Amino acid sequence: MFAEMMQGTPQAIASMATRLVPPSQRFGKMATAADVEKAAVELEAVFAKRPAVAKQVGQIGRRFIKAGRLDMYGTPPARVYLKKWADKYAPTR
């Protein structure tokens, strides 16, 4: 389901990826570990096909980390993925 929503222009995809973080989405504070895992698997499938999307999601995670605000977003399992993607797709220089 989520993977189908991730089709479109890079800006539309980045917008959807950004919305993963608020509480109303799968990576929100109420998400179960299973919800997070499912969303992460679907996103990683998109990343494999659309490297620009992976880079944008990595940059979003990197901004949260640099701002010292990663702990304010999502659940602990979601934060693990956000950090993983930031490290993989938007490494620090």
pLDDT tens-place string over residues 51-92: 998 999 999 899 999 999 988 888 889 899 999 999 999 988
Residue 45 or 21, more confident: 45
Count: domains in the chain: 1
| Domain housing 26 | 22-89
Instruction: Answer whether residue 8 is part of any domain.
Output: no
Name, in order, each residue with C-beta under 8 angstroms of 42's C-beta and a sequence gap of 6 or more. Answer: 1, 2, 3, 6
Instruction: Answer whether residue 61 is part of any domain.
Output: yes
Instruction: Answer whether residue 67 is part of any domain.
Output: yes
Instruction: Answer whether residue 6 is part of any domain.
Output: no
pLDDT tens-place string over residues 8-21: 555 555 555 555 55
